[in-house]
Structure 1
Amino acid sequence: MSENRDMMFWEEETENDLPVIQLDRDVPDRWKVLLVDDEEAVHNVTTLALEDFEFDGRGVEFFHAYNGDDAKVLIREHPDMAVILLDVVMEREHAGLEVADYIREELKNKTVRIILRTGQPGQAPERDVIVRYDINDYKEKTELTSQKLFTLMCASLRSFRDIMALERNKVGLERVIESSADIFGLTNIRQFTEGVLSQITSLLHLDSSAAYMKAEGLAVSDTAEGLKVLAATGEYREVVGKDAQGVLTEDILQDISQAIKNEKSYYRADRFVGYFSTAMGSTNILYLSGLRPLTEMDRSLMEVFARNISIAYENIDLHYELEDTQREIVYMLGEAVETRSKETGNHVKRVAEISKFLALKYGLEKETAEIIKLASPLHDVGKIGIPDAVLNKPGKLTADEWVIMQTHAQLGHDMLKSSKKKILKASAIIARDHHEKWDGSGYPAKKKGEQIHLFGRIAAIADVYDALGNERCYKQAWPRDKVMTHILGQSGKHFEPRLVEILLSNIDQVDAICAQYQDVV
């Protein structure tokens, strides 16, 4: 097992090694402070006293309201307001208290720091106000000297900053959980990797300034054939599926090579390189560029998320291993049946590929078409139960022998029907229904039209088209024109007319499939 399961990260390189990218922001990086008072002089004095105020390297941006209703509008439009200096008595005796109640109860804003200021303390006794309303401080206007106002703002902004940090941590952890849940349901490696790229971008863009940045990423798989681009976002989308060596820049390739060589993920200036390997031997690299400098919180979230990604890649590898095993068993069993009946194993491959092609043209989803492809090789598995004398008889079967031969459809279904696996369940359906006919004259149940499962209808026309065009123990191969004439003549009789139309209108592509898997003499 690779050490990256513990998700070790390289130390970030210093500014002497690589420059930190300076990001342009469209909004000023200042604390928002709302002054609410019906006296113009109070606004002027407060603004003057805090004119050069800075906290934590950031200045102050003032917003002004002269009554409670205007204050409600401003706080609604600016939910990221840090501090409100709020007068109690304005157009109404308790207008300020109404604003405080509106912020906490209706807007559910628990982060903004509310400091009540009053010139008439008797109108709203401090003890009653503190107990009844969710405010953070209560000051008489006469006691707020320039120095005390400075101290009050520092304390309020420090509290706001720490509350927002906790909130971001909470949001970040929720995103880790949600992101992991979203992508853990994906078993297609490309979809999964695209999901990982999207979720990592989301995780690393947690603060307000992130909205003004654009991150782009790609995923590379280290295979026996070399580095292949598995998925991508942004400007890298054009290189998906291509050889990484031929389409990526030298600096990106160096970053990827270093991650593979050292078996570690790392951050470097404005980019992240994630290294993920599994016990099955696969290695995947995630590369994101255009990121802002990462905080400790970002790194912590990434490490948690990356551990989940490592587990997920491991699970996908296991999923593929199980699917490959199941697929191999199905093909081997199908080929064994064909070999016993003195037919070539390539027949099942051709039927599988033709069935998938027809399913896609019919409008089925890719996943369903793939299941039909993987299931169709067992369409004749019931022939295992047919005696050799009947199965391999070179001439025409007698009536009794034909009855015996027909039982292979139900035999095949009975052999597979108890399986809970999607592929084998589909195989059971195909084995049962691929000899039924659209007009109801088929076997074993004389089903008619859409009573025949679509899987069986698709496999039937694929099976017959390939069987007629190739030599069997009981017949010579038919010429292509004769096969097409027969298929057309059986539209609405043996085959569903829509499938006949799809097959014949795409006959060149179907024949290309047959040529790709032609019998080896």
Structure 2
Amino acid sequence: MSSDLGQDDLLIFADDERQPTLAESGSIENRWKVVIVDDEQEVHHLTRLVLSDFEFDGRRLEFVSAYSEPEAMKVLEDHPDAAVVLLDVVMDRDDSGLRIVRHIRERLKYVTTRIILRTGQPGQAPEKVVITNYDINDYKEKTELTAQKLFTTVMAALRSYRDIQVIENNKLGLEKIIHASADLFELKSLNQFASGVLTQLTAILNLNRNALHCNSFAVSKGQEEIYILAATGDYSDSAVPNTRVQDVAPPRVLRCIEEAFRNKRGEFAADHFTCYFQSKTGRENVIYFEGAVKPSEWNRYLIDIYCSNVSIAFENLYLNEEVETTQKDIIFTLGEIAETRSKETGNHVKRVAEYSKLLALKVGLPEEEAEMIRLASSMHDVGKVAVPDEILNKPGKLTPEEFDVIKQHTNHGYAMLNHSNRDLIKTAAIIAYQHHEKYDGQGYPNGLAGEEIHLYGRIAALADVFDALGSDRVYKKAWPLEDILDYFRRESGRHFDPKLVDLFFEHLDDILEIRDRYSDPRLA
């Protein structure tokens, strides 16, 4: 050692009791974690003493100690967030420190942790050999480590660790942006989409913070009111989708949201930010997000990238919504046209649609699928547009030849609909084709039996016959309800799926409520 060093600059090793694991002053939250691995208690004590007032980037140190090779391996497994390891070489074995280096890099896969090798016996681990063959970041002989040099060494290691962490987090953030943006286009419901956006924003901003609690709103502006699409955190329980935001949001949050709509732009503040979106059709949405810390410049960059993709996804979602709305209107219109040609009321279409959805839900299908059946079932008789009027509206009994023509409406309907790749149209094609099949195989056009008939066809068959029997037609008067119910009991397992018949009777009150809601005047 140099003789001109002052006594205070030297690390003097003296006997002392083992110190507590954590630094005693201040909170241990958000500290740089330093693991000291050495079999000499004095080294632990003096390291803590020299670095007791150390601070870097506004954060103090948290010390964790290990005194042997096995203990070090266990401690390191328990502390994957260790920023720096001050590691002795010779402990239980002559190469304990080098074995621990292998453990950290190869088994634990800690690539960002900075390892500083400190040895009092450099002959056991020559610097050139160690620095070449082992993934360490610094090599110091204990005899050269003054207080100032230890301070400088740890400072340099932490600066390197911080910068690597920033790079890793930035990489992770970009990966999340890529995956999140892809997921956005899988969400078809506006409320599901908005909820997904809030969840993904939380994940993007919460990359390396375990304690950050985030609250957020996604809202949509109607003609007069602002409505909630989704909410997270403290707002999630009270913020039911499609309720007015002013009924739920605190005044300060409401002001921020209204300001974003008024200014048509978002903003970043100390504890929150807003993002504004406007579609080409004029639909407006705002995301409000608040957390414990102000977004960094990098996080603001991530948010900007992500929100650009959200804006595109909002646009696509609204366009898809327009297409689906138009498609639904066309489907109902076509169904009503078919019924009008046979001098039947369009309410038959509505009732069959509602009966079908009810049965679909009661049989256990999810809401989205049941709604698709509701829409598609309105097209069950669309093939009648290809049947001549004189046959379709004949008041008397049909001849066998005429009935064969009528039966062809199932094939005509299927031919009209089966070329689409849209799930809704494909469902309508199935219903149009199979709603006259019978459970015992005596129906048409293909004589399918039992579960050979698609569930959609079985549901529509029951709904269609119930409404047809209870309605006036040119060739018959409406049946009394009791006669219809007796018919259904007799035809369970013959014309109709017995499970669906059971569900029909279990929920008869709901069926009759639908019938009364969409009732129509009897034909003269």
- Identify the residue that residue 7 of structure 1 maps to in structure 2: none
- Identify the residue that residue 466 of structure 2 maps to in structure 1: 465
- Identify the residue that residue 211 of structure 2 maps to in structure 1: 212
The Cα of 1:189 is off from its aligned counterpart by 1.1
Q: How many residues align?
A: 495
Question: Structure 1 counterpart of 2:489, which letter?
Answer: L
- Alpha carbons of structure 1 residues 51 and 329: separation in structure 2 relative to 1, 3 Å: same
- Identify the residue that residue 376 of structure 1 maps to in structure 2: 377
Where in structure 2 are the equivalents of 1:400-479 lying within 5 Å? 400-479=401-480
Q: Distance in 2 between matches of 1:113 and 1:343?
A: 81
Question: Structure 2 counterpart of 1:238, which letter?
Answer: S
Gaps of 5+ in 2: 1-25
Question: Structure 1 counterpart of 2:239, which letter?
Answer: V
CA contact (8 A) 1:337 1:383 kept: yes
Q: Does 1:119 align with 2:97?
A: no
- Identify the residue that residue 141 of structure 1 maps to in structure 2: 142
- Identify the residue that residue 162 of structure 1 maps to in structure 2: 163
* Higher RCO by CA contacts (8 Å cutoff, separation 6 or greater): 1
Gaps of 5+ in 1: 1-24
Question: Structure 1 counterpart of 2:219, which letter?
Answer: V
- Alpha carbons of structure 1 residues 140 and 291: separation in structure 2 relative to 1, 3 Å: closer
Q: Deviations over 1:40-76 (max 9, x none)?
A: 2222222222222222222222222222222111111
- Alpha carbons of structure 1 residues 506 and 446: separation in structure 2 relative to 1, 3 Å: same
Q: Distance in 1 between matches of 2:208 and 2:107?
A: 25
The Cα of 1:374 is off from its aligned counterpart by 1.7
- Identify the residue that residue 40 of structure 1 maps to in structure 2: 41
Q: Distance in 2 between matches of 1:480 and 1:290?
A: 61
The Cα of 1:103 is off from its aligned counterpart by 0.7
CA contact (8 A) 1:26 1:212 kept: no
Question: Structure 2 counterpart of 1:506, which letter?
Answer: H
Where in structure 2 are the equivalents of 1:489-508 lying within 5 Å? 489-508=490-509
Question: Structure 2 counterpart of 1:349, which letter?
Answer: K
User: Share of identical aligned residues, percent?
Assistant: 51
TM-score by length of 2: 0.90
- Identify the residue that residue 232 of structure 2 maps to in structure 1: 233
Q: Deviations over 1:165-215 (max 9, x none)?
A: 11111111112122222232111111111111111122222233xx22322
Q: Distance in 1 between matches of 2:87 and 2:319?
A: 61
Question: Structure 1 counterpart of 2:225, which letter?
Answer: G
SS of corresponding position for 2:344: coil
- Alpha carbons of structure 1 residues 520 and 174: separation in structure 2 relative to 1, 3 Å: farther
Question: Structure 2 counterpart of 1:231, which letter?
Answer: A
CA contact (8 A) 2:273 2:289 kept: yes
Question: Structure 2 counterpart of 1:379, which letter?
Answer: H
SS of corresponding position for 2:280: coil
SS of corresponding position for 2:85: strand
Q: Distance in 2 between matches of 1:457 and 1:482?
A: 21
Q: Distance in 2 between matches of 1:48 and 1:254?
A: 51
SS of corresponding position for 1:239: coil
CA contact (8 A) 1:217 1:234 kept: yes
CA contact (8 A) 1:220 1:286 kept: yes
Q: Distance in 2 between matches of 1:275 and 1:163?
A: 33
Q: Deviations over 1:231-283 (max 9, x none)?
A: 22334333313223334333322221111111112233333322222112222
- Identify the residue that residue 361 of structure 1 maps to in structure 2: 362
CA contact (8 A) 1:376 1:430 kept: yes
The Cα of 1:225 is off from its aligned counterpart by 5.4
- Identify the residue that residue 57 of structure 2 maps to in structure 1: 56
Q: Distance in 2 between matches of 1:26 and 1:428?
A: 67
- Identify the residue that residue 30 of structure 1 maps to in structure 2: 31
CA contact (8 A) 1:35 1:65 kept: yes
CA contact (8 A) 1:335 1:348 kept: yes
CA contact (8 A) 1:86 1:96 kept: yes
Bigger drift between 310-319 and 473-482 goes to: 473-482
- Identify the residue that residue 9 of structure 1 maps to in structure 2: none
CA contact (8 A) 2:28 2:62 kept: no
- Alpha carbons of structure 1 residues 249 and 151: separation in structure 2 relative to 1, 3 Å: closer
CA contact (8 A) 2:195 2:230 kept: yes
Question: Structure 1 counterpart of 2:89, which letter?
Answer: V
Q: Distance in 1 between matches of 2:27 and 2:465?
A: 66
Q: Distance in 1 between matches of 2:183 and 2:345?
A: 44
Bigger drift between 154-163 and 505-514 goes to: 505-514
Q: Distance in 2 between matches of 1:471 and 1:234?
A: 56
- Alpha carbons of structure 1 residues 422 and 26: separation in structure 2 relative to 1, 3 Å: farther
Where in structure 2 are the equivalents of 1:235-274 lying within 5 Å? 235-236=234-235, 237-240=237-240, 241-274=242-275
Bigger drift between 93-102 and 228-237 goes to: 228-237
The Cα of 1:27 is off from its aligned counterpart by 4.1
- Identify the residue that residue 99 of structure 1 maps to in structure 2: 100
Q: Deviations over 1:131-178 (max 9, x none)?
A: 100111111111111111111111111111111111111111112122
- Alpha carbons of structure 1 residues 116 and 215: separation in structure 2 relative to 1, 3 Å: same
Q: Distance in 2 between matches of 1:478 and 1:27?
A: 80
